[in-house]
Chain A
Amino acid sequence: MNDERSAIALTGATGFLGSHLMARLLQDGRRVIVLGRSTRDEALAARIARLLRWFGMAMPADRLETVEIDFARDRMGIAEAMYTQLSARTGQVIHCASDTNFSERKRDLVFAANVHSLNGILEFAAHGRAKAFHYISTAYVAGIHHAVCREILPAATAFVNVYEESKARAEAVIASFCERNSIPLKIIRPSIVFGDSQTGRALKFNALYFPIKTMQTIRDIYLNDIRNHGGIKSQKSGIFVDAQGYLHLPLRVYLPRKGSINLIPVDYFVEATLRLIAGDPPGGIFHLTNNSAPTLATLAAYNQEFMKIRAVEILYGRAASAAMRNPVEELFDRFIEPYRPYLSDDRIFDRTHTDRATGNLQPPEFTNGLFKKCMEYAIGVNWGGAIFS
């Protein structure tokens, strides 16, 4: 492990997936070079140290380097001598940095972060003749209209959002570069990642968490109205606390079709990714997805029990007209809109490469217990607001 080319250069280490990868690599005794940025308020090294503390780890100074980079600049803004020295010590690159914004209004920023910035990290890998380049992509590069998504480069031209589109474009750019430069490439495509299946811990609370957080907020608004203000406004919307103490919260969630939510826990993502990185074949594309994904109806049932609410219905087809919707439904619809395509996904993700390369490692089933564990943690840390406070 201590040969001159043993280091793994990692981008995105301050993000959800990247931080988990970093922690695990360090726990496994690997040398890691974190390529990242400081924020206005906190230096990169301090950010990393803070994250490692969350993992219960100290900064292993002998095996962890933090290097300030700027993808927009030549050599990522690294001084030439240091750049050469770093790249020479780098055996593998894991490119995990990504802008996960779905908003079309942010198209330029998303493409800048996910596509236009690739040159810097790819040149870095090529400069040091890295033994492997690993790109953390997304299962959703397959785009829409694909019933079966293969572990091949995407041919899709239509996507649910700009994030998917940018990741698909990035895969093509990276694949082309690596081929030209003879760098073995692995593209790892996780679906929706949530907290740790053993502990429920997580650092980011979007995707799966967002509808639940929204529901909790809406529930609390009406409980407050009922408990502290007579509940007159709640009554107008047919909302009340029933005899069993459950909040009767009529909420019809319309989905375009029947389908499921493809969820994997972050510990599965880390384990599978490390197996993929370490093992054969030297290159390929891998889906880290769940063959037994739950439906929204299942999640809604978990959540109703968890939050002590009733009257949430999952319906399929076109929603009732706006005039027929109550304020809760209108707000909830708006909140989950960016996530709606992922809530009733009927695509099948082929896992042939993955199963072979990981020894058929599968993510756990998303049970009520797992749901509860993750949501209790999320609420306990105020959806992330109290993690570092």
Chain B
Amino acid sequence: MNENDRRESGRAKEEALAVAKNCRHYAMCKIDFLGNGVCASGLEKHFASFYPVGRMDLYAALAEGTIPVTETGVEIANSCNLCGRCDYQCYFVNEMRPTRVMRALKDHVGAYVKGGGRVARSKDDAILSQLKNIVGADWASNDPAIRITYHHDLCPHVTFKMPEYVVLPNSREEISAILKLLNKSKIPYCVRGNGASSHGLVFSEGAVLDLNRMKTMDFDEKNWSVTVGPGTAAFDLQREARKRGYRVHTAEPAALVCANIMTSGLLSTFSTAYGISADNYIDAEFVAGDGSLFRLNDIAAPNLFSFRNALSEQEAIAICVSVSMKLHPLTADEEGVLVPCASLDDALDFARECAIRHIGLAIGILGGEFVSTFIAPTRKLAAEAKEVFVTKLGMPYLVLLIGDAYALRSVREMGYPVIDQKLFKTLFQGLPALSSAKWMDLLAELADDEPFSYLRLGRFAELAETAIAPSPALQARDIDPDLRPFFEEVYSRPEMADLVWLNTFRIQSSRYCRENPCVALVCYLPIDKALIGEIQDGLRAVAGKHRLKGEFGFITPIDSGKRCVWEYDFYFDHNDPAAIARVQQATREAGALLDDYCLKSGTIRQVRYVVNQGCCRKENLLYS
């Protein structure tokens, strides 16, 4: 290797390491959300390490010398066939190209082995042997190449821990047996979901239970219900439900449904119609801390419907091993609209009015940051989209409403100008042409007279379509050239511009941390404009003080408009220790501010205190 080659190789390694260390751990590479399949080795081996997300961590650890090259590490590297699927998936979400990391991992391990490096072999200890007896030899490990991928994520509030064991049970009985063993041996444990944790509850120096193998779905259409195993991801469940003509209320697409319910309780824009927490499920089955089994519907079961209203985090008391969820029938006339609002007050008025009148299935007030990030395929376009929507068009907030024909007719009769499905598709597929469109200036001048009045023109969508000439090719214009043909095909699928599908499957909202990860401050509170405005001012001030980007996320009305759920986000650079320190301090101050409002108002509940109480009755949560 000459000097140039060495330099080139060094640069490639650096780039690969930078990508690896920017992995958001959002686990979208574990679900087939683009229809091009999922990493084959991940599906076969189930450990996070065999998915791209795990290989990113593994490569970073090997490159930085955190762990040695092990036999399992070699197996993980070799199991990647460089198919490139993860490039499409990760590019869609974060505009990153993990394949170069996969290649770097293979190169690193290959060179090490070829160079005669010693490949470490992890020895089974007594506990691991017993774990293997319970789950089978393939499904428990203490190899550093496995353990490192369960060691950290982007949550800035926890001390990461390297587990001694990672174990993948496949049944409630196995979970029960594992808990009994760990209890007897006084080994701490935790259960992890599919990807990153919001609250840092997935780390243990003892054992991590990964329920990835328990992906069961049993539909009971007579009762409009489905029973799902704890390894079932929201996207997969939603896809199966949709095939049968139903919707399930789920949250983030890669999130495990049971984990969602157990921790913070399910919430989404569909919470307006489908509710939160216990509204979403019929029954659930658990393994208690002592390894015993119980169902919620057992008379003697612990009362998980209750809610402890305290300004403190609660411990988990059991592992959810299955849940039967409600199926909601789809109607053929469901459609989505976006109602632009010049202020948060206007948006709250509209959202509250709709919730009180039970208009719509899903309602979400989205801030400019979310809207632009969700709809734009790249960061650059997201910045341009934000400029267009917030500054040029004066739409700092857009209210998403999904409903049937009756609901949408009501919205129109309420007199609100709307971006309908047709216009949304035009703007969505024409996004790259928007920022340079001169006619936008005219719209701004018109809006001065009456905000968004041009949307009332019967044929505005037709004119916009002519002006923008939207197409999947235009939408994919700024994407890396080698990926562009694939994304042109993806964006040409009808569902990819369908507000109902997009908000049901939520694959675009996975982009919310594309530019930088964030700490989400989420709380339930009344739809009180003054209160929300005051708190938002306070959170903005905290963000400003600590030089963090603070942005309104979303608000969704719940319980007939009596309350709403609100997310406000602090963005930070997770690779900058100083930024992490700032976001930690900012989060503490924001938490104190919210605690203060909780005590003053008596009507605010922070989701961080709901964690591990997600099964509770909504009424206990909101009003007890």
A residues with a Cβ closer than 8 A to B are 101-103, 105, 210, 213-214, 217, 220-222, 224-225, 228-229, 233-234, 322-323, 325-328, 330-331, 334-335, 337-338, 383, 385
Contact = CB atoms under 8 A, between A and B. Distances in A.
Given A214-B442, A217-B442, A220-B438, A331 B463 contact: yes
B243 interface: no
A327 B463 contact: yes
B112 interface: no
A117 B439 CA distance: 35
Interface in B455-480: 457-460, 462-463, 465-467, 469
20 contacts: A101-B448, A102-B449, A103-B449, A103-B450, A210-B445, A213-B442, A220-B439, A224-B467, A224-B469, A225-B466, A225-B467, A233-B465, A325-B459, A327-B457, A327-B459, A327-B463, A331-B457, A334-B453, A338-B449, A383-B441
A334 B462 contact: no
Contact of B460 (A217, A220, A221, A331): A331
Contact of A335 (B446, B465, B467, B469): B446
Nearest to A217: B439
A334 B466 contact: no
Contact of B438 (A101, A217, A330): A217
B446 A334 contact: yes
A141 B420 CA distance: 41
Contacts of A228: 469
A234 B466 contact: yes
A225 B469 CA distance: 7
A225 B467 CA distance: 7
Contacts of B467: 221, 224-225
A337 B465 CA distance: 23
Contacts of A105: 449-450
Contacts of B439: 217, 220-221
B485 to A, nearest CB: 21
A328 B458 CA distance: 11
Contacts, number: 61
Contact of A328 (B442, B445, B463, B469): B463
A277 to B, nearest CB: 33
Contact of A334 (B438, B448, B454, B469): B454
A217 B445 CA distance: 13
Contact of A103 (B448, B457, B465, B469): B448
A260 B454 CA distance: 27
A381 B11 CA distance: 47
Contact of A221 (B441, B446, B458, B466): B466
Nearest to B451: A105
A233 B449 contact: no
B466 A233 contact: yes
B237 to A, nearest CB: 41
B466 A330 contact: no
A383 B438 CA distance: 11
A217 to B, nearest CB: 5
A385 B453 CA distance: 24
Contacts of A385: 441
Contacts of B460: 327, 330-331
Given A221-B439, A328-B463, A338-B449, A229 B458 contact: no
Give me the 7 closest cross-chain CB pairs, A-B, nearest first: A327-B459, A233-B466, A327-B463, A221-B467, A103-B449, A229-B469, A217-B439
B45 to A, nearest CB: 49
Contacts of A220: 438-439
Contacts of B442: 213-214, 217, 335
Interface in B469-497: 469
Contacts of A234: 466
Nearest to B457: A330
Contacts of B446: 334-335
B73 to A, nearest CB: 53
Nearest to B458: A322
B179 to A, nearest CB: 62
Nearest to A216: B438
Nearest to A105: B450
B411 to A, nearest CB: 20
A338 B453 CA distance: 13
A331 B449 contact: no
A214 B444 CA distance: 12
A170 B439 CA distance: 36
Contacts of B457: 327, 330-331, 334
B67 to A, nearest CB: 54
Nearest to A220: B438
Given A327-B459, A330-B457, A330-B458, A222 B449 contact: no
Contact of B462 (A101, A214, A233): A233
Nearest to B448: A103
A103 B447 CA distance: 10
A386 to B, nearest CB: 12
A221 B449 contact: no
A330 B445 CA distance: 16
A213 B442 CA distance: 9
B462 A327 contact: yes
A326 B438 CA distance: 21
B460 to A, nearest CB: 7
B454 to A, nearest CB: 6
Contacts of B449: 102-103, 105, 337-338
Given A103-B449, A105-B449, A221-B439, A330 B459 contact: yes
A102 B454 CA distance: 17
